[in-house]
Amino acid sequence: MTELTDFSKLCIHTQTTKPWSIEECIAHFSKSGVRGISIWRHLLEGKDLKKIKTLLEINKMEPVSLVRGGFFPSLESHQRELALQDNRLAIDQAAALGAPVVVLVCGADPGQDLEVSRRQIIDGINQLIPYAKNMGVKLAIEPLHPMYAGDKSAVVSLEQANDMCESIASPMVGVAIDVYHLWWDNNLKNEIFRCGKNKNILAFHVCDWRVPTIDFLTDRGLMGEGCIPIKQIRKWVEEAGFEGYNEVEVFSDRLWAQDQKLYLEDIKKSYINHT
């Protein structure tokens, strides 16, 4: 496979350097030669999005995706309606910043069957499509690891995400492929090619799975610190036709506790050597 030799396709999620504000992420990423940024919404609270967009432009940063929408399922219909409202807001924010994609963490309600949650996810996405189309923002279904099936995502495999995309059949809806969530799946290669054939790969996220992993949310590893065959999976994704950014999305109490400028250099080394 092709080795990565420069940072032209490196994107970093703002949550990877959680201690930094949106302004700090933009400034430090840009200075460090990183061109792609995926923006987490909580950093936008109280901000003037026009100013953030200008800041991105001045610093030659490309907003790759807005994270995150989703959380469609609920036993309560008014909660499902609130979720739709929030997703429309996410689409507005993405459009305002020039981000082409909103990543969907699809959600699950532990009080109901996963199949019911999955139908509510499809319903929710279908209801958003006209709005998304109007705003020119795509929606990326991100299948999460099965350890999040209880409350965060009833979509736990690329097969399911592909099934949903084929059922929804809209050019506005595709998939975010994250190695952390999907590396264990023996059907992954085939499903990546299926996703690519449908032109549905909208994003590719990388990090690593530490052994042992000690926290369900905040113990991800930098690429090379774990056991995920990241280069192999990137190869499949590229062979499947994806030409977008490799997005580094690491949540780690351990790494957030470090000097974030030094950590940013480690991210770049890890990107070149282990992605």
Among residues 226, 237, 238, 263, the one that binds its own copies under rule CB under 8 A: 226
Q: Which stretch binds its own copies (CB under 8 A): 1-9, 34-42, 84-92, 183-191?
A: 183-191
**Token couple for 241:** 């036709």
* Minimal distance, residue 172 CB to its own copies, in Å: 24
How far CA 72 is from CA of 29, 83, 152, 176, in Å, comes to: 32, 6, 10, 17
**110-133 in b/e burial notation, b at 16+ Cβ within 10 A?**
eeeebeebbebbbebbeebeebbe
**180 or 263, CB closer to its own copies?**
180
The set of residues, in sequence order, having a beta carbon less than 8 Å from that of 16 and lying 6+ positions away, is 248, 249, 250, 251, 267
Subset of residues 118 to 177 that bind its own copies, contact rule: CB under 8 A = 118, 145-147, 149-151, 156-157, 160
**Token couple for 184:** 């264990």
Alpha carbon distance 26, 87 (integer Å): 24
* Minimal distance, residue 268 CB to its own copies, in Å: 24
* Minimal distance, residue 184 CB to its own copies, in Å: 4
* Minimal distance, residue 150 CB to its own copies, in Å: 4
Q: Is 184 a residue that touches its own copies (CB under 8 A)?
A: yes
- Closest by alpha carbon to 131, among 103, 83, 172, 74? 172
Q: Is 116 a residue that touches its own copies (CB under 8 A)?
A: no
Q: Is 46 a residue that touches its own copies (CB under 8 A)?
A: no
Beta bridge pairs of residue 12: 37, 248
Among residues 48, 76, 113, 239, the one that binds its own copies under rule CB under 8 A: 113
Q: Is 209 a residue that touches its own copies (CB under 8 A)?
A: yes
Burial of 265 (0-12, 13-18, 19+ CB in 10 A): exposed
Q: Is 115 a residue that touches its own copies (CB under 8 A)?
A: yes
Q: Which stretch binds its own copies (CB under 8 A): 12-20, 167-175, 182-190, 245-253?
A: 182-190
Q: Which stretch binds its own copies (CB under 8 A): 126-134, 135-143, 169-177, 224-232?
A: 224-232
Alpha carbon distance 181, 89 (integer Å): 26
Beta bridge pairs of residue 140: 103, 174
Structural element, H or E, at residue 68: strand 62-70
**209 or 263, CB closer to its own copies?**
209
* Minimal distance, residue 208 CB to its own copies, in Å: 10
Q: CB count, 10 Å around CB of 19?
A: 12
* Minimal distance, residue 227 CB to its own copies, in Å: 4
Question: Residues binding its own copies: what is the number (CB under 8 A)?
Answer: 29
**Given the rule CB under 8 A, which residues bind its own copies?**
110-111, 113-115, 118, 145-147, 149-151, 156-157, 160, 183-186, 209-214, 216, 226-227, 229
